[in-house]
Amino acid sequence: MSGETFACVALVITAVAAFMYIVIMGPSRYHRDGVVGRMYFCLMDCPTACCGCFCGICFGCSYRRGRQKWTRCSDHTFRERNWFMVIFYILLVWSVEFLYLFIALPELQVSIWSKLISYGLVMVSEGFYALAVFSDPGIVTSREEKEAQQFAFAAPPAKNKKHKKKRGEENVAASSCDHVTKHTNAHSDTTMGNGEKWRKGKMRQFLLSPEAEARQNRKYIVDGILYAMDGSSVGGNTARNPSSSSSALSSITTTATGLECSTCHVPRPSRSKHCRLCDYCVRRYDHHCPWINNDVAEGTHRWFLLFIICHAISCLWATWDMYAIMKAFLVQNRAWGWSITLTNGLPYFLTPIDYLIILVTYQTIAACLFFFSSMIGLVLLIFGVYQMSFVFDNLTMNDMGKIDDAITFVLSLPSLDEVYREAMNVWQCLEVVAARPPRKLRQLKPPPPDFVPGSRGDKSYRKKVQKMLYSDLKGLFDRGVWNNLVEVFFPYSHERKRDRVGRTEGERRMKYE
């Protein structure tokens, strides 16, 4: 393979890495209004325009109809829940991992422990990927499934071992079968034991009991700033106590419920969202990831983060392994050190291009894997740090989107007096509902009366309010770094402990009865 071929391969890998960075980070708040954001929107529109023209030529129709055909195809592939991206990931990444583990790695002269680490990192990262794909993201049980959930977690009737007859057993079994038949006919879904239920042809397994899910739904307060309250749940409180604003606000925020989802017909818990691709509400929703064909939310956020971090470490470790292979080859052939000795005894100084030609010619797989793993590892590392910055503040991408919307609304008010009043309303609400008390907004002073709209002073004041709102709204769910990490990586530890203690006490009572 010549240097030109390697340059082409390197260019392709660089383009793939740049494409992944633009697709992943383009719609983020950091790049949304910048160059990367514009590149993202152009990149998303280019396939529609080009493929629409191609479809129009191939199928003999107009450009408009060709664009419509491609739009339907792309919507099904990228904007509807399907396994295309998962299959693409398996074909791409597993092929590269096969080349790395079974072709390139055996050439590396290192200890067996180093190779075991290489194998282990790959296997662990793919294990976390499988958990992210197949785990329950934290689905909120809809109204139609409430009875199925209660029946799935219902305790079996106590058995009287001394006075049980065969006919009685048959009657109990018959009545139980009748109950199951009535239940399944009423809901057109099949309910099974152990919290499992067939829904739309797929087996639904209820992760939490009704009581545990109710506690989990109330884990975060409905703040009324980012997540709207149901007016019917707060009307009584405001009517009873109209005089004291602080006490009224406290009673409202502690008893209010979220708006009812029009699809699931249940009040939305705070920080939840109805995923239109998965067609259910999910607690602590972050985003829907097509690479795992699942929501990154309460139940899958930890597996997604561990997969990203472990996969980034695996790529960087593979980069080091490939570097060791190429270095050993150069040392063995006396080409390490930017110079070699020719047969006539004269030194020849090597350039980076010379090294590229040598490595591509004699270490093709190692060179390509080195470039691929380093670029992908760097992209994953950046994305992992980006995600962990949210975790440290107990925020999600959905939370940040709502924070952006709330701040945009405040800053879009026509006068600075209205901006100040609305910022003070946010501050008063945060004093009651925020896990971390607001520190910045309490320092905000009223604007001077002589500011002209659109002037430098007007823009400076709005920018100051923007920074204060960002700082205090990010503390809405912040309970400290350690507690935030525990909430993300162990979301159900407290509920499972309570269920385990409750089952133990129940078994103890049944034993003595």
- 1-15, 91-105, 235-249, 300-314, range with the lowest pLDDT: 235-249
The span from the CA of 252 to the CA of 348, in Å, is 80
The span from the CA of 244 to the CA of 235, in Å, is 15
**Average pLDDT of span 395-412:** 94
**Count: domains in the chain:** 3
Give residue-wise pLDDT tens across range 41-69. 777 677 666 666 666 666 666 667 766 76
User: Residue 320 sits in which domain range?
Assistant: 3-32+81-137+301-392
Q: Are 387 and 408 found together in one domain?
A: no
Whether the predicted pLDDT of 234 surpasses 70: no
Q: Are 372 and 244 found together in one domain?
A: no
Give residue-wise pLDDT tens across range 98-137. 999 999 999 888 889 999 999 999 999 999 999 999 999 9
Q: Residue 104 gets which letter from DSSP?
A: I
Q: Residue 140 gets which letter from DSSP?
A: P
* H-state helical runs in 350-475: 352-362, 364-392, 397-411, 416-433, 456-473
Q: Are 388 and 402 found together in one domain?
A: no
pLDDT band at 349 (very low <50, low <70, confident <90, very high): confident
The span from the CA of 363 to the CA of 385, in Å, is 33
Contacts of 81 (CB under 8 A, 6+ apart): 277, 278, 293
pLDDT of residue 236: 42
Q: Are 316 and 387 found together in one domain?
A: yes
Asked if the structure places residue 282 within a domain, the reply is yes
The span from the CA of 411 to the CA of 128, in Å, is 42
- 22-26, 128-132, 326-330, range with the lowest pLDDT: 22-26
Written as one string, the DSSP assignment of 217-252 is HTSS---SSSSPBPHHHHHHHHHH--S-HHHHHHHH
Asked if the structure places residue 216 within a domain, the reply is yes
Q: Are 381 and 424 found together in one domain?
A: no
pLDDT band at 449 (very low <50, low <70, confident <90, very high): confident
The span from the CA of 192 to the CA of 204, in Å, is 9
472 CB burial (10 A radius; 0-12, 13-18, 19+): buried
Give residue-wise pLDDT tens across range 200-232. 445 567 888 889 999 999 999 888 899 988 766
Contacts of 233 (CB under 8 A, 6+ apart): 255, 256, 257, 267
**Average pLDDT of span 454-461:** 88
pLDDT band at 164 (very low <50, low <70, confident <90, very high): very low
Q: Are 308 and 370 found together in one domain?
A: yes
Asked if the structure places residue 219 within a domain, the reply is yes
Give residue-wise pLDDT tens across range 295-327. 999 999 999 999 999 999 999 999 999 999 999
pTM of this prediction?
0.77
Q: Are 337 and 212 found together in one domain?
A: no
Q: Are 403 and 461 found together in one domain?
A: yes
Relative to beta strand 190-191, strand 196-199 is antiparallel
pLDDT of residue 355: 85
Q: Could you tell me which residue, 203 or 509, shows the higher pLDDT?
A: 203
Of 184-198, 353-367, 412-426, the range with the highest mean pLDDT is 412-426
Asked if the structure places residue 38 within a domain, the reply is no
Asked if the structure places residue 329 within a domain, the reply is yes
The span from the CA of 386 to the CA of 494, in Å, is 28
The span from the CA of 444 to the CA of 465, in Å, is 8
Asked if the structure places residue 235 within a domain, the reply is yes
The span from the CA of 255 to the CA of 236, in Å, is 10
**Residues 306, 378 contacting (CB under 8 angstroms):** no
Q: Are 212 and 92 found together in one domain?
A: no
Q: Are 445 and 325 found together in one domain?
A: no
Where does a domain end: 342, 361, 392?
392
Q: Are 191 and 204 found together in one domain?
A: yes
pLDDT band at 3 (very low <50, low <70, confident <90, very high): low
**Residues 103, 289 contacting (CB under 8 angstroms):** no
- 261-270, 313-322, 401-410, 501-510, range with the lowest pLDDT: 501-510
Asked if the structure places residue 148 within a domain, the reply is yes
Asked if the structure places residue 378 within a domain, the reply is yes
